[in-house]
Amino acid sequence: MADSTHLIPPHGGTLVDRFVRGEAREHARERARDLPRVTLSERSLADLECLATGIYSPLSGFVSEADYTSIVRDMRLADGTVWSIPITLQVREEAAAHLRVGSELALAGPSGEVLAVMELTDLYRPDQIEEVRRVYRTDDPKHPGVAAVMEAGNVYLGGPISVIAELPKGEFDHYKWTPAETRAAFAERGWETVVAFQTRNPIHRAHEYITKTALESVDGLFINPLVGTTKSDDVPASVRMQCYEVLIDKYYNKEKVFLGVYPAAMRYGGPREAILHAISRQNYGCTHLIVGRDHAGVGDYYGTYDAQRIFDELPEGGLEITPMKFEHAFFCKRTQQMATPKTTSSSPEERVHLSGTKVRALLASGQLPPPEFSRPEVAEILVRAYRAQAEAQSARDLREQPA
């Protein structure tokens, strides 16, 4: 394996690995059979994977009450380490009634298989309204991040986890890399500086422009799409992955790009989630993170560049990864190339920018967005996906019609 010791250190200094192996794993599996059981939601299952593999280093489990309070109020763990969103395990009162601090519990996946054992060090009932107002800057139940918190249960369980089984397989496993693996891959390629691009959307021309601009300053580009739970109207991950593959194949220098999925669920936490994304990418071995307009945003809950400004609020040395801040990019008709407000004085009428709503309307009607906005191969994949979705919906509507 290539030497990765010259890469940026993980957040907090230690890359966490919470998998139990060998005989200890078998003993833990035996013990887990008699433990109280909590079934994980999709979001908690994604968090378990991020905790176990070190994506959320230095966390070793779901956060304690002390860490939770410090994160919510000060964006720090209790020991002062920068952390922006509490990684919590929430349950309802009835599920918590039989749990006792100081004991262990088994964490089960959706299929019922026990995946991990958790040492229950904390059981607490925090002020969830304060949490969402500070973390998401709103208590509006229409905000998807707020809704997820308020619906998951008011009892929080904290403590270190130990994974004792194979985590559930997914359709993107061939693109799933642990931080230890990405660090080895970057080192093998001789990359000392790597810029990460977080995305939950297809990459259009504006994204392509800023990623390539960023790549001019570093050794490699890590395209790291989020494939955990997203809003129902976001483009499905399976469709997005096809777009990334064809785009990298045809329009990037493949020797300088690494594609790997980010298994976390989307919280739509705007500025605070931008910090979490930066921490995760530092753990993957990236030295830089692209932070564009409305990073991790939703609706109009955050200012256009709030996710960039929050990095300026961190203490000196709080993060070692560096944000690369980009303004909104577009195709400029005057200069006949991609640009940002920094690089052109063109008028708004000379700039090709389509809203997500407009793009979805075009795709739903079978029309390709203009080539200045999207590469035709990407647009064609999206049109096929929207057409298939529309046909499936029509078939469902027919079945549901009264006889």
Give the pLDDT of residue 369.
87
Q: Are residues 58 and 199 in the same domain?
A: no
The residue type of 286 is C
Task: Assess if residue 41 is contained within a domain.
Answer: yes
Task: Assess if residue 399 is contained within a domain.
Answer: no
Let me know: does 220 contact 186? Beta carbons within 8 Å.
yes
Q: Are residues 74 and 223 in the same domain?
A: no
Strands 330-332, 288-291: parallel, antiparallel or unpaired by DSSP? unpaired
Looking at 163, 195, 219, which one is the last position of a domain?
Answer: 163
Q: Are residues 244 and 382 in the same domain?
A: yes
Which residues on neighbouring strands pair with residue 258, listed in sequence order?
Answer: 222
Task: Give the active site residue among 25, 29, 189, 201.
Answer: 201
Q: Are residues 200 and 125 in the same domain?
A: no
Task: Assess if residue 75 is contained within a domain.
Answer: yes
Q: Are residues 189 and 284 in the same domain?
A: yes
Q: Are residues 81 and 203 in the same domain?
A: no
Give the pLDDT of residue 393.
64
What is the Cα gyration radius of the chain? 22
Q: Are residues 53 and 135 in the same domain?
A: yes
Q: Of 356, 347, 351, whose CA–CA distance to 339 is shortest?
A: 351
Task: Assess if residue 366 is contained within a domain.
Answer: yes
Looking at 163, 197, 215, which one is the last position of a domain?
Answer: 163
Let me know: does 153 contact 91? Beta carbons within 8 Å.
yes
Give the pLDDT of residue 5.
67
Q: Are residues 120 and 42 in the same domain?
A: yes
Q: What's the CATH number where 75 sits?
A: 3.10.400.10
Q: Are residues 143 and 226 in the same domain?
A: no
Q: How long a stretch of residues is the chain? A: 403
In sequence order, what are the residues at sequence separation of 6 or more whose Cβ sits closer than 8 angstroms to the Cβ of residue 3? 187
Task: Assess if residue 250 is contained within a domain.
Answer: yes
Specify whether 200 is catalytic: yes
Looking at 143, 163, 183, which one is the last position of a domain?
Answer: 163
Q: Are residues 155 and 253 in the same domain?
A: no
Task: Assess if residue 88 is contained within a domain.
Answer: yes
Measured distance CA(207)–CA(202) in Å, rounded: 9
Strand order in the sheet with 194-199: 257-259, 220-225, 194-199, 288-291, 322-325
Long-range CB pairs of 303-310 (<8 Å, 24+ gap) are 304/328, 306/270, 306/271, 307/270, 307/271, 307/273, 307/274, 308/274, 309/271, 310/271, 310/272, 310/274, 310/275
Give the pLDDT of residue 275.
98
Q: Are residues 202 and 64 in the same domain?
A: no
Give the pLDDT of residue 110.
87
* 348 DSSP 8-state letter: G
**What is the span of the domain harbouring residue 331?**
174-391
* 165 DSSP 8-state letter: S
Q: Of 56, 246, 242, 88, whose CA–CA distance to 155 is shortest?
A: 88
Task: Give the active site residue among 18, 200, 205, 267.
Answer: 200
Q: Are residues 292 and 350 in the same domain?
A: yes
Task: Assess if residue 346 is contained within a domain.
Answer: yes
Give the pLDDT of residue 105.
97
Give the pLDDT of residue 348.
93
Total of domains in the chain: 2
Q: What's the CATH number where 198 sits?
A: 3.40.50.620
pLDDT in tens, the chain (403 residues): 566 668 999 999 999 999 999 999 999 999 999 999 999 999 999 999 999 999 999 999 999 999 999 999 999 999 999 999 999 999 999 999 999 999 999 999 988 999 999 999 999 999 999 999 999 999 999 999 999 999 999 999 999 999 999 998 888 889 999 999 999 999 999 999 999 999 988 899 999 999 999 999 999 999 999 998 877 777 888 899 999 999 999 999 999 999 999 999 999 999 999 999 999 999 999 999 999 999 999 999 999 999 999 999 999 999 999 999 999 999 999 999 999 999 999 999 999 987 666 777 788 788 888 999 999 999 999 998 888 777 766 666 666 766 5
Task: Assess if residue 5 is contained within a domain.
Answer: no
